[in-house]
Structure 1
Amino acid sequence: MIQIKVINKGHQQLPAYATSQSAGMDLRANIDAPIVLKPMERRLVPTGLHIALPVGFEAQVRPRSGLALKHGLTVLNSPGTIDADYRGEIMVLLINFSDEPFTINDGERIAQMVIARHEQAEFVEVDMLDETERGEGGYGHTGVK
């Protein structure tokens, strides 16, 4: 387990894992007044959290499945990426894909955050790539069965 430095400028509890096997932690809205998201409207929702990730880690902001299924609410840039050198407030870009307005209240669980290791890559230009079974089939090339 890694330790993440956090400043909580909001009034919500810190994110925590719901179970010992959870991959994500819920992020909560930290707002002074309810936000009403109309159908097809998008909005940045503050969390009050600022984090310092270790080098080689990122935080991914992902939708909560219950909000997506029941209310058509999702994270528009899913997954949103928080880099190790970002120190600003974590904001969640939500969109309402339903036909009904949705009200976000203070403290509401609006997204989940997953901390993950990552690598940086260096591209090396070549004239040919190794042949594979799939070749250049493109989207849907492997079929549905």
Structure 2
Amino acid sequence: MPDARLDLSAKRVNCHGFYTGFGTKPFSKEGCLITQKEVNAVFDGQVALCREILQKKTKEYTGGDTDRLGAFKAAAALQHTTPERALAGMLAKHIVSLYDMCFADGMSFDAGTWDEKITDSLNYLFLLKAIVKEGQTNQQN
């Protein structure tokens, strides 16, 4: 049986530019309209949550080390790879979890669970950006 996450045969309902789910009947305008102002508020709230979690977890993952990316460098050394690849492996767990949630037929998840999974994924991407930037800076020196 093929993996449901890869099944693209079902038709998605497009509601004002947002894919709202699977089905054959479109949602009413009142039931699905999201304004740009609301999207901006979601973005701002998410970035604030990402910042808060990154700050909280800094001490947990670095101890007293001043190198914020040290855990990824240590993981890279253990795996004989690059920090980028070590981080990508860690990120993959979060992405698979999000896919599982998105494609869990008949299941719903509370906002806190979505927030945790989305925030963790975004934070790994922010940390990847920092690793890439550090690598580029070191190449220039």
TM-score normalised over the length of structure 1: 0.23
Larger RCO, structures 1/2 (Cα 8 Å, 6+ apart): 1
Normalized per residue, the structure richer in helix is: 2
TM-score normalised over the length of structure 2: 0.23
Normalized per residue, the structure richer in strand is: 1
